Structure 1
Amino acid sequence: MKILIAPDSFKGSVTAIEAALSIEKGIINAFPHAETKLIPMADGGEGTMENLITSTAGHKVAVTVTGPLGKPIEAFFGVLGDNETCIIEMASASGLDLISFSERNPLTATTFGTGELIKRALDDGYRKFVLAIGGSATNDGGVGMLQALGIQILDKSGNDIGFGGGALSQIHEVRMDHFDKRIYESHFLIASDVENPLVGDNGASHVFGPQKGATDEMVQILDQNLTHWANVVEQVTGIRLHDMPGAGAAGGIGGAFQAFFPSTMKRGIDVVIQYSKLVDHLEDVDLVITGEGQVDFQTAFGKTPMGVAQTANKLNIPTIIIAGSVGKGIQTLYQFGVIAVFSIINRPLRLEDAMQETKKLLEQTAEQVCRTYFFNRQGEKRNED
């Protein structure tokens, strides 16, 4: 019996590796001699860098950068096991989790620190990049990042505009003379599960602005400012970001990469599957167990459990999902190799208590899942005999 365990993190409670270890405990409780393999996963958001470093035996580099509020913070970029590929997780330098709830304000939050991470990696000689752009606190269209890399974004007086999405209305001129030439010697693989355009009702400001602290009034301002920025970008580059798929990712930084960088955008989970060599690890596996904090109809749009199940299904390996909570629309997942979805909640619990008990609940659920699954398989074999 060989089981591959490939969960994402359960956000706010356990990391992907902690979730995998808890699931493994439950499996061993049920079947002490089971062979398990742990491959922590992510989909381009927080945890992507850590997972790729772990799965490729890479390492992290600490860098002091400008945080989303404009203050110095310690961030990290990763170097994969090939010692050639640099993984940058935007959340490390410009992430929402770096800001307290009361301080969230996309009018002022900046991506400058993400640009500083890229610059430091270029200084260290890296030219092959994976950029995980989930979990941002920003809505500045990537302008801060571009400023950190030498692009001058000026107001009518010829001065650099300030930080944040609120300053984009001041943009009058973009000067490319001092843009870091090493960018053109590099390639950037953008890991994102977001296909939203830059502006409009489905754009960065309307869809993601509220979770970053934007009020209804701020959303309107941010969308107008991003529209102005997109108009300027089109004049400078000839590239129209307004309705381009993926341009709205991470407050518009997806659009900045598409317009100014030699880049390719790919579904985040597919990037992690590629670099973790998930397909190789599936050899001779009987069952895959994956999961994350919330599973519902949105899971089918490129979230970790979906990507893992699709990969396993190509090899005719069944997948079971274990989730913190299970919402509507999970039936869609069954056509992609998922045979069942289980919630870890086994009694009435407050959210705070459930998050504190996540490890134990994962262990208990994994044990019961495996007992049920393999008992049924043995029953099928007896009937065949």
Structure 2
Amino acid sequence: MRIVIAPDSFKGSLTAAEVCAAVEAGVKRAAPNAATVAVPMADGGEGTLDCFLRGAGWREVRMTAADPLGRPVAARYALSADGRSAVVELASASGLPLLAPGELDPLRADTYGTGELIADAVRRGARDVLVCIGGSAGNDGGTGLLRALGVRFTDASGADLPPGGAALARLAAIDDSGLAEEVRAARFRVACDVTNPLVGPRGAAAVFGPQKGATPAQAAELDAALTRFADVLAERTGRRVHDLPGAGAAGGTCGGLVGVLDAEPARGAELVADLMGLPAALDGADLVITGEGRLDGQSAGGKVVSSVAGLAARHGVPVVALAGSVAGPLDELRALGLTAAFSLADGPRTLAELTEGAGALLTALAEEVVRLRLA
């Protein structure tokens, strides 16, 4: 038996590589002679940078950047061996985990630090920049990032707006004359892990704002501000990002990058799958085990499980997903190729228990899956 293990990380618990190791241990319990191939995955959010750094030809660059509230934080990105390509992970400088629970400020948090990482990479010669977004602390439409690159966002009096998404309600003009020529010459791609539009009931503020501490009233305020941002973008550039699939990712950062820099949205999980050699690994496989922290209806919108299931289906290989929690319906995932899904919970457990014991629970569950497959 040949089993491919291709999971995402379990946020707050295990990295994708650690998930692979736990699952592999369970596989070997059930089938000691099985051949296993570990392919740690990510979807464009946290962990994507590590996937690239595990690949050949990439090196890590460390620097100090601004965190979501403007304080200095140690951050990093990846450069290719020839220095022409860069991978920047938004979560490194602008991620929600950088803030303590009492520090959450969805109206003011911004992405300036991510722009500093991009600016450094471009100064070093990168002309193909992949921005991996996901896990952001704010809802600023990527305006902080763009400010770090030289773009100005001003009110009716010509004054620069303060950081954060809420200030965009007063946006009157966008001035990109300060963009360096090397930035203009660069190709930007955005690795998205969701398909949500920028604004509306499925937009950045309405769906993801509460995760960043936004009250219902604040989410509505941010949605109106991002709508104003999109309106001005359309007037300034002719690019309409209001309802662009994926534009709402990372607090609207994808929408801002597309609107101002003409960036190309891309499915993060598919990019990582190609980089890590997953298509080749599936040749001759008997089973694929994938997974993520929570499996639900949103998982079909570009998350790791959906991408792995679709790829495996094209190779005719059954796919089983293991997750901390499984919440249906999973009809879209099954249509993509998912065979079955199982939760780690082996009885009544708290979230803390599941998080702390995820490794052992994954091993036990993987063993049972393989025993069933053998039967």
TM-score grouping bracket, smaller chain normalisation: over 0.9
Q: Counterparts of 1:199 and 1:323 in 2: how far apart (Å)?
A: 30
Q: Counterparts of 1:57 and 1:287 in 2: how far apart (Å)?
A: 30
Asked whether the 8 Å contact 2:66–2:113 carries over to 1, the reply is yes
The match for 1:383 is none
TM-superposed CA distance for 1:332, in Å, is 4.0
The match for 1:285 is 285
Amino acid at match of 1:167: A
* 2:356 equivalent to 1:360: no
- Contiguous gaps of at least 5 residues in structure 2: none
Identity of aligned residues (%): 43
* Mapping of residues 46-195 of structure 1, within 5 Å: 46-56=46-56, 58-80=58-80, 84-195=84-195
Q: Counterparts of 1:304 and 1:244 in 2: how far apart (Å)?
A: 21
> What SS does structure 2 have at the residue aligned with 1:293?
strand
TM-superposed CA distance for 1:360, in Å, is 0.6
Comparing 190-199 with 2-11, greater Cα deviation is found at: 190-199
The match for 1:371 is 371
The match for 2:235 is 235
Q: Counterparts of 1:19 and 1:127 in 2: how far apart (Å)?
A: 34
Q: Counterparts of 2:257 and 2:280 in 1: how far apart (Å)?
A: 31
Asked whether the 8 Å contact 1:39–1:55 carries over to 2, the reply is no
Q: Counterparts of 1:237 and 1:244 in 2: how far apart (Å)?
A: 15
> What SS does structure 1 have at the residue aligned with 2:44?
coil
The match for 2:319 is 319
The match for 1:215 is 215
- Contiguous gaps of at least 5 residues in structure 1: 377-385
Asked whether the 8 Å contact 2:90–2:131 carries over to 1, the reply is yes
Q: Say how many residue pairs are matched.
A: 375
Structure label with greater radius of gyration? 1
Residues 339, 246 of structure 1: alpha-carbon distance in 2 compared, 3 angstrom cutoff: closer
Asked whether the 8 Å contact 1:184–1:262 carries over to 2, the reply is no
Residues 241, 296 of structure 1: alpha-carbon distance in 2 compared, 3 angstrom cutoff: closer
Asked whether the 8 Å contact 2:79–2:121 carries over to 1, the reply is no
* 2:8 equivalent to 1:17: no
Runs of 4+ in 1 over 6 A off after TM superposition: none
TM-score where L is the length of structure 1 = 0.92
Please list the CA deviations of residues 145-199 of structure 1 after superposition, one character each: whole Å capped at 9, or x if unmatched. Answer: 1111011222344332211112223333322221122122221221113222222
> What SS does structure 2 have at the residue aligned with 1:209?
helix
Residues 266, 138 of structure 1: alpha-carbon distance in 2 compared, 3 angstrom cutoff: same
TM-superposed CA distance for 1:280, in Å, is 1.4
Please list the CA deviations of residues 197-243 of structure 1 after superposition, one character each: whole Å capped at 9, or x if unmatched. Answer: 22222221112111111112212221222222222222221222223
The match for 2:264 is 264
> What SS does structure 1 have at the residue aligned with 2:49?
helix
Amino acid at match of 1:172: A
